[in-house]
Amino acid sequence: MTKQDLIDCHERIKPFIHITPVLTSRLINEMVGAQLYFKCENFQRMGAFKMRGAANAIMQLTAEQKKNGVVTHSSGNFAQALSLAAQGLGVKAYIVMPNTAPQVKKDAVRGYGGMVIECEPTLEARERESKSIEDRYGATFIHPSNDDQVILGQGTACVELLETQPDLDYVVTPVGGGGLIAGTALAAHYFGKHCKTIGGEPLACDDAYRSLMSGQIETNETANTIADGLKTQLGDRNFPLILKYVDEIIRVTEEEIIVAMHLIWERLKIVCEPSSAVALAAVLQQKEKFARKNIGIIISGGNVDLSQLPF
């Protein structure tokens, strides 16, 4: 994936996305001893960065593929992103969701025009049902994070950030399925001036940290974290990019995530979900590393259940 691929992708999806704002906080800067620039993808359409990759992936399909629709399995932000992107492009979206997913999430997907197909809450069941829809309708499967066109789309958030703040020393992003950090690392490599990419990851599900250490994709036995959007694992398309371009992954505790989330709500006056706070938590944990640097932080999304706030 080249610099031109990122440029072309950004131009292609601009009619379907928001160019999200970059916020700063003097108090948080003083706490860290650095200049922090928050790229607010919580203000993105459907409330998360995933709209970017979903739109790009659908736009790259052939006319025949678009006619037959797209399918994914997700109970989170990508389910909504693919539904909304497909609706805007006149494409059917089949969304496989576990029957245990909150009703509010199923309703949100339907509200964006997605066709919800429920299954048992296991990865095997999700993959089996997705394959069944592929076979039955000829729909094209689009993975939430392990897809080249999705990765390029997610990278455009960092492209925009570097357009406004070209002298960043670091850009820090949460790590879950790997699509955001892989795309971010590509953008930092091609558009930054010696800008390093660092990931933040919950200690409770640190498969990406261990994968970067071992050089092969690791898995988690459990994933008991408040950062529910980061419970997925890396894939064979994004992992090579992470190995090549990501400098480090910093693990943070549940308490550190909550403190960072509270700080974002209180000082930036914005709503972010726990997964988004992981990047700031990593910076707060390692203040010495980031002191006197210019740091970009991707606030990945703001789709939070207000009845389940941790503070």
- What pLDDT tens digit does each residue of the chain (311 aa) get? 999 999 999 999 999 999 999 999 999 999 999 999 999 999 999 999 999 999 999 999 999 999 999 999 987 889 999 999 999 999 999 999 988 887 888 999 999 999 999 999 888 899 999 999 999 999 999 999 999 999 999 999 999 999 999 999 999 999 999 999 999 999 999 999 999 999 999 999 999 999 999 999 999 888 889 998 898 889 999 999 999 999 999 999 999 999 999 999 999 999 999 999 999 999 999 999 999 999 999 999 998 888 889 98
Write down the architecture of domain 51-141 according to CATH.
3-Layer(aba) Sandwich (3.40)
pLDDT of residue 103: 82
Q: What is the pLDDT at residue 254?
A: 97
pLDDT value at residue 183: 98
DSSP H helices in the chain: 3-13, 26-32, 50-59, 63-68, 77-89, 103-111, 123-137, 148-164, 179-191, 207-214, 239-245, 254-263, 274-285, 287-290
From residue 152, how far is each of 149, 166, 229, 254, 263 by CA, in Å?
5, 19, 20, 30, 30
What pLDDT, on the 0 to 100 scale, is given for residue 232?
Answer: 86
pLDDT for 105 equals 84
Query: pLDDT value at position 75?
Result: 78
Structural contact between residues 264 and 277, judged by C-beta atoms closer than 8 angstroms:
yes
Q: CATH second-level architecture of 3-48+148-308?
A: 3-Layer(aba) Sandwich (3.40)
- Do the beta carbons of residue 242 and residue 218 sit within 8 Å? no
Put the strands of the sheet holding 246-252 in their side by side order. Answer: 22-23, 35-40, 294-299, 170-174, 196-202, 246-252
With beta carbons less than 8 A apart as the criterion, state whether 284 and 32 touch: yes
Does residue 232 come out as left (phi exceeding 0), alpha (psi in the -120 to 50 range) or beta? beta
Q: Among 301, 229, 292, which Cα is nearest to 264's?
A: 301
Q: Which amino acid is at 93?
A: A
Catalytic residues: 50, 75
pLDDT score recorded for residue 104:
81
Delimit the CATH 3.40.50.1100 region(s) of the chain: 3-48+148-308, 51-141
pLDDT of residue 231: 86
The conformational region for residue 112 under phi > 0 = left, psi -120 to 50 = alpha, else beta, is alpha
pLDDT at 8: 98
DSSP 136: H
